[in-house]
A and B are shown apart, each in its own frame.
Chain A
Amino acid sequence: MKFKHSLTAIVFIIMAGMIPICAMAEEKKEATAVSAPAAATIASETVAPAVVPVAAPAAAPANPAPVFNGADTAWMLISAALVLFMLPGLALFYGGMVRAKNVLSTMMHSFVVMGIVGVQWVVIGYTLSFGDDIGGGFLGKMNKFMLNGITPDTLFQFVATSANAIPEYIFVMFQGMFAIITIALISGAVAERIKFSAYCIFALVWTTLVYDPIAHWVWGPGGWLLGKGALDFAGGTVVHLSSGVSALALLIFLGKRHGFPTERMAPHNLPLTLLGVGILWFGWFGFNAGSAVAANGTAALAFVTTTIAPAAAGLSWMFAEWIHSGKPSALGFGSGVVAGLVGITPAAGLVTPGAAILLGACVGVVCYLAILVKAKLKYDDSLDAFGVHGVGGTFGAIATGVLATVGAKGLIAGEPKQVLTQIIAIVAAGAYAFIVTLIIAFILDKTIGLRVEKEDEIMGLDQTQHSESGYNM
């Protein structure tokens, strides 16, 4: 008991110590932020007139023509591959947490979407998200159907005021990997009972009707949440909130696993899960630092925050569990790391390292509390897709509105309205994802059925859905 008290004290001291560190870091940042744009203007003023002496001097520096940048291109090629690498990571993370009879089916949920969404994205997904706007920021037009009009020479300028550009093909693929991982995250909620055919159809329809529009709102040209100034650096709202909330909606029609919660449903192989955590973390550097869409200081900042927020979150979950239930579990630390990655995603390039520690430490505890509440409520989110991604994504999106100080202003930088904007984005994206998922789930349930037969569920999905078993010994 004494030990527990001293642990609580240590955690509090660490948390309290972080506040001044954050404040200091922000002051310093502001000082550099002031000097950086000044230097930039000087550079453009001296160079621009020399290159184009006749052209209109006012328009040229504001929106320069895109110029191919090799460094950015190289980094984005790697980043896109890193994001795809998160899928085997997720497959291991989820696969280790189910019972041995469902390991392959659970891993397939992550793998098969590489196929389904991989094709969907090129055919229709990219244009729905990043085509020219229709409907006042609601959806992209069909002008990039089948990547129409994009050639190896097509350049993509991420920041209109910077000339640096990468081939659009790379941007297409980087964003495509995001679409793939998002649907795979949902599979955690439905593991061990969903019918494989229903899952495949759901993946295709959900990505088209839910993911693509929300990606357009937040990131697409003319997207309405982008226009409102909602901050989402690397997909807290688009990826984690939307998948977490949708997981919850899908559960309404899917129901609990047979035997839940009385039967023993312990993870069959936590070493796989921990390996998955490591691979996810590794891949997440592409996810977050790649979201700068450039090999620059913002990417470097995102890299830093993607290291320290999960580190703090792993510790805070571990300590919370240690204090609350007596033992620091390996699954707890791993879950904390993932919660930290989810939490820092919307904020990665927008907050100081100090703020990232604070954010990470909080999101670890918040998600731990969320899964405790789940255990009390007894709804069956098998692998906590909502508890970690829904709750962590929401917390991260709000925290971004509070803590953003780098290149954007949140509450602590004197912009309280940003928190409101974040909440509007959360409610809009969350409500849309929830309602549309509910409709898709209802239709699937009434037509082909979402669940496998009870007998098949008891035998295991590996055998009954795939005619294989994960372990033959």
Chain B
Amino acid sequence: MTSVDLLTRRSWLRRSALMATGMSLSGWLGRLAARAADDPRRKRSCILLWMAGGPSQLDTFDLKPTHANGGPFKEIATAASGVKISEHFPQLARQMNRLAILRSMRTREGDHERATANLRTGYLPQEPIRFPSLGALVSNELADLDADLPGFVSVLSQGAFAQSAVAAGFLGPSHAPLVVAGSGETLKVEDLKPPSVSAQRSRERLELLHKMEANFLATRRGTATASHVTAYDRAVRLGREAAARAFDLSQEKDSLRDQYGRSLFGQGCLLARRLVERGVPFVEVTLGGWDTHDNNFEQVKSLSGVLDPAWATLIADLKDRGLLDSTLLVWMGEFGRTPGINPRNGRDHYPGAWSVVLGGGGIKGGQTIGRTSKDGSIVEERPVSAPDLMATICLALGLDPKKQNLSNVNRPIRLVDPAAEPIKEVLA
């Protein structure tokens, strides 16, 4: 498709979107029109390291080495004075000045699906409202809709719990995550390039398509056709050389790729940096396997070995490129794990007292917030709810948590539940 064609298609979309204000078209299309008028310059980005399954706080960032619940792991000192973390995070320990640990998460959902939905959207599932996930909310606020790359990229999320909770919900397809899947050692966007068709032939096909459906689109204006046009437009732009290159990790030095670790998650963190560097406002990278009902310690040790180099290198790499101050880092799962160790040497689901780590742009690093009891079972100081956390994340990104979006039930919904109290002391 030529750039002129594209321009025509896009300006058509704009026009039809603007027309929508006078028609009965509701929902995302109207909002698309409103966005088009906004200043597209974005300020911040967010990388979410999503620990699917619920990581054990007692074996990562809130150790209880003197209590029977503590398990075998030792604490080590970090670059931040007084802040201690697991011995299996030696590289991360050196970056601790950039990170703040929230040790007093207290939520109520102990079911993977519901808890995932709760932490990803900031709301409890409430059918039929389709709450957008954090990624979609951030994309809606900060993405440049004219950019070739999408506003929300989800790396390695396939097969995770509650897929619907990581989606765009009522914010519509422009903010749906682009999924980057992994297999073996490689990450890729499925079907980004036509397998065996020349660029010339691809172009000809798209021109043919454009002509062929022009009459249909013109006589059937509305959300269905507009969404079809938007999706194809974005898919084609994504396939363009420069955009597609963002996903090509072979452009990076081997030594840097090694530092991140040759795990899928490690390479995913590197990809996150490449995307943020190119203006993508929200990238999430999933590391699964934290649902450690059995053999908790072996599994957490092994996962820590993947997490430590990837995350620590990400911080250093962002810093080297001058991106750390504008990139918020969030490390969390859907809940924590029981302080008590079960007979299978495992830990079960525990939403009552657990940890989340924030870092990078907008965050005052090198500190811990909140405290759990000696046995780790209750929050003794500064309980933090899922909405509190969401509001804090919004503020760190420069977003107003009280801003409203129109939902699919035609009711305005705030970015974050208005009962939320942001954790002011963690904000820079």
Q: Indicate, yes or no, whether A interacts with B.
A: no
Residues of A within 8 A of B (CB): none
Residues of B within 8 A of A (CB): none
